Chain A
Amino acid sequence: MITVAAAFVGTVAFALLFGVPRRFYPGCGFIGAAGWLLYLLLEGAGLSAAEATFFAALAVALLSRFAAVWQKCPATVFLIAGIFPLVPGAGIYWTSYYLVTGALADARATGFSAVKTAVAIVLGIILVFELPGKVFHPKIRQV
């Protein structure tokens, strides 16, 4: 649970780093924490890291689009910060660590898994942005 709070704080910190306006901080933090929580739950339920990342990325992108309509601003604002907890930062580290220590098989496995995670994020985002705007904004017909 403490890592979910860490996800909230970390996401807000990166929102600040990217110059997101202050009024969007709570939204960014919430979306980042929700994505990480879902990831933890799914991974705990036995899904692989890439699968869990895919569904979490899907959730983050969906929430970002809803928040964008609600707050009348680009979805990117929420997406960029919210996706951060899912980015395979650990993958980068372990890959170079194993490469350096000469454990090539481990390096290949972690590197491959980092790439799979990145692809999962890509797929999750692409699928959500494929949905027409109407889904998120039923009142105004999109031109």
Chain B
Amino acid sequence: MSADRETEREQQVLEIAMEAGHILLENGAEISRVEETMERITRHFGVDSGSFFVLSNGIFTTGGSVSGRFARVEHIPVHGAQMDRVVAVNQLSRETEEGRLTLEEVAERLEAIRRSPGKRGSMQVLASAVGSAAFCVLFGGSPWDAAAAFIAGFVLYLYVLKLSAPHLSKLVGSMGGGALVSLVCLLLRAAGIGQDLSHMIIGSIIPLVPGVAFVNGIRDIADGDYISGAVRMLDAMLVFFGVAIGVGAVLTLGQRLGGGVWL
């Protein structure tokens, strides 16, 4: 009877660790952080049979004793990173280690983090617009260029949220994004808003830059997690190339239609 209880508790701990790892990985944490957090949680609750293998898009966990084994594989596709969830789980694991929380409390908190609402879409669109304008200025654009970049960044994120993220693959999505931005900038300049096409486009493609994948790829490689690091770097590179192709395609089109005047 008590052995059964023991097993049940063990399974529960491993499941909770799995859940914590899931949230971390999904929202753009490094591999080493995911593994470390899972280990910390299980060790704190007295389970040392667990072993974890984490890749950029999946977690493999086994554990348990002779009486009951625990084995699970979870596939975790990365969707938009939400740093606040990574921060929250990190905080939770810290508090758990300090011994302030029971197993049930940890489970509840994780559930709450999972359900926590992300940033509102309207805020994201606005952030993309402001960011585009700011980076346009950063690279030397005039106020009018920045105004154009603001509009392009706005339109771009509507596209990202409504079309690209839910329906398109990464590569096609970023090609479309690069093309859309260039098209909007070309049209805006034709309408007399902004003078320097290069500054306008450079500012407004910045929201497409795969910052999370790039930085995490670097950190994973630095940690020796080569498989995940390489996959994330490849992901970042594909997006970079996709954007470049999208921009190039529209510029070519503009050149063909309008002669050299457009560029």
Contacts and interface: CB of A to CB of B under 8 A. Distances in A.
A113 interface: no
A90 B198 CA distance: 8
B66 interface: no
B84 A20 contact: yes
Contacts, number: 156
Contact of A84 (B123, B211, B219, B221): B211
Interface residues of B, number: 57
B138 A85 contact: yes
Given A18-B81, A19-B118, A100-B251, A13 B219 contact: no
Contacts of B134: 6-7, 9-10, 13
B84 A101 contact: no
A77 B91 CA distance: 13
A89 B205 contact: yes
B16 interface: no
Interface residues of A, number: 46
A92 B211 contact: no
Contacts of A77: 83, 86-87
Interface in B201-248: 201-202, 205-207, 209, 211-212, 214-216, 218-219, 221-223, 240, 243-245, 247-248
Say what secondary structure dominates the interface of chain A.
helix
A87 B211 contact: yes
Given A19-B119, A125-B218, A76 B83 contact: yes
A112 interface: no
B206 A97 contact: no
A122 B128 CA distance: 25
B245 A9 contact: no
B165 to A, nearest CB: 12
A83 B211 CA distance: 8
Contacts of A125: 215, 218-219, 222
Contacts of A129: 219, 222-223
